Structure 1
Amino acid sequence: MTIENQRDLDGILAIGRIVAEIRDAMLAAVKPGMTTAELDEMGGQMLSRLGAISAPMKCYDFPGFTCISVNEEAAHGVPGARVIGEGDIVNVDVSAERDGYFADTGGTMVVAPVADGKATLCKATELALARALAEVRTGAAINQVGKAIEDVAKTHRLKIIRNLAGHGLGRSLHEEPEGILGFYDRGDRRFFEYGQVVAIEPFLSTRSSYVSETDDGWTLVGDPASRSAQFEHTVIVTDGAPIVATRSQTAA
């Protein structure tokens, strides 16, 4: 989607604020002993209260309001009976629609006590997102997002999950440009266009470069001993720094 008018801008910013609020509330609520289904129900109640609809449910019949991935699960984790424990690494991915506009966001945290390696993984992935966003502007090469993420991964001796990527969105959950990769692809000749709405989401991992679906048909897992993190923002491309629609409301 490309922003065409004030209504488009207001629509993306409104749904962006909603998913950001839910993301932050869910991550803050994570505690040992709760199930991922309980955490997801919180997200579902907030979506209803804020007048939004779960995008994975709406678009793909996903069996949950949000995607919650724990430990070996890299993405698209199905909420259920899994009990969150001390030291677990938990990713929450929230995407939703309101008034015909979509936004997508995610974050990762570690349940105390926090091991140094897991803290480093999360901090590095969050840094990778910040570095990637610095490359998003009108006329910039899309593959520079991947280069920025790859540089951070190499510095921290982490792997990039190569078959997960960012994407365009706005009028639906996944649109062009698809495949905004987390590594440098010199063959990608695309450029960002003014007003494009895109989701930038690095996935860094301790062991896995690729993930595949488990028997549930949704959850993505690589090496069972691997741990991964994802941070994601929906942004609008401008001639300068992108407009971050999913920024935390506590951030100025």
Structure 2
Amino acid sequence: MTITKQDELDGLKEIGRIVANAMRSMAKAVEPGMTTRELDEIGQAFLEREGAVSAPQSCYDFPGATCISVNEEIAHGIPGDRVIAQGDLVNIDVSASKNGYFADTGATFRVGPVEHSLERLCKDGKRAMQIGIAQVGSGRPLAAIGDAIGHFASQRGYTLIRNLASHGVGRSLHEYPGEIATWPTRSDRRRINKGLVLTVEPFLSKGGLWAAEGDDGWTLYSEPSAPVVQYEHTIVATDRDPIIVTLPG
């Protein structure tokens, strides 16, 4: 989607705030002993109260309102009977629509203390997303996002999952300009147009290179097996700083 009018931006900001607040409410509720289904029910109830519709359910018939991925699960985890434990990394990904506008956000949360390397991975994962967002501006190359994230990851000794990309969003969950690499690529010559709505969501890892689908047909796992974190915002490109619409408030 390309924003051309204020009411479009207002609609996008509304659903952006909703998904951000839904994720925040889920993150505050996470505790050892609860199941991922119980956590998902908190997110679903929040979305329903706000008049929003889960995008994974409405667009893809996903068996959950949100995606919850624990430890070795790196994306698209199905909420279920898995019990969250002390020391787990829990990724919560919330996307939804309201009044024809879609927004998408995600983050990895630590359940109690974790080992130092995982603490560092989480902090650097969030930083990688921020570095990518800083590359977004009217007329700038889309590839600059992945180039900047890749440089940061390499400097810090990390790898990036290279088949889970950022994407256009706004009037549907995945739309123009399609996939946007969050790793270095030489083949992408596209430029960012003013008002473009997109996600920035690098998957930073301690050795993982690819996402592989599990037996349930949804859950993705790292290959090679390694810890992975993901942080994501929906943003709008402008002539100045990008607008982050998935902020709680």
CA distance in 2, matches of 1:189, 1:225: 32
Matched, 1:13 2:13: yes
1:157 aligns with 2:154: no
Matches within 5 A, 1:111-126: 111-126=111-126
Deviation at 1:154, TM superposition (A): 1.2
Structure 1 position 131, deviation (Å): 0.6
- Relative to the length of structure 1, the TM-score reads 0.96
Distance 1:243 1:23 in 2: 19
Give runs of ≥4 in structure 1 deviating > 6 Å. none
SS at match of 2:145: helix
* Partners of 2:24 and 2:152 in 1: CA distance: 24
TM-score normalised by length of structure 2: 0.98
Q: 1:223 to 1:210 in 2, by over 3 A?
A: closer
The 5 Å alignment of 1:27-106 reads: 27-106=27-106
1:170 is the counterpart of 2:170? yes
User: What's the offset of the Cα at 1:224?
Assistant: 7.3
CA distance in 2, matches of 1:102, 1:94: 11
Equivalent residue for 2:247?
247
Larger CA deviation: 165-174 vs 107-116: 107-116
| Structure 1 residues not aligned, in runs of 5+ | none
| 1:238 match: secondary structure | coil
The answer to whether the 8 Å contact 1:71/1:226 transfers is no
Residue correspondences, number? 249
User: Which amino acid in 2 is paired with 1:40?
Assistant: D
Please name the residue that 1:207 is paired with. Answer: 207
Q: Distance in 2 between matches of 1:177 and 1:29?
A: 35
Please state whether the residue corresponding to 2:210 is helix, strand or coil.
Answer: coil
**Residue 149 of structure 2 corresponds to residue 146 of structure 1:** no
The Cα offsets for residues 97-150 of structure 1, whole Å up to 9 and x where unpaired, read as: 000000000011111122111111111110011111110000000001001111
Q: Percent identity?
A: 51
- 1:223 is displaced (CA, Å) by 4.0
Unaligned runs of at least 5 residues, structure 2: none
- Alpha-carbon distance in 2 for matches of 1:248, 1:203: 22
CA distance in 1 between partners of 2:224 and 2:121 (Å): 16
Task: Supply the RMSD in Å over aligned alpha carbons.
Answer: 1.0
8 Å Cα contact 1:103/1:173 also seen in 2: yes
Asked whether the 8 Å contact 2:18–2:248 carries over to 1, the reply is no
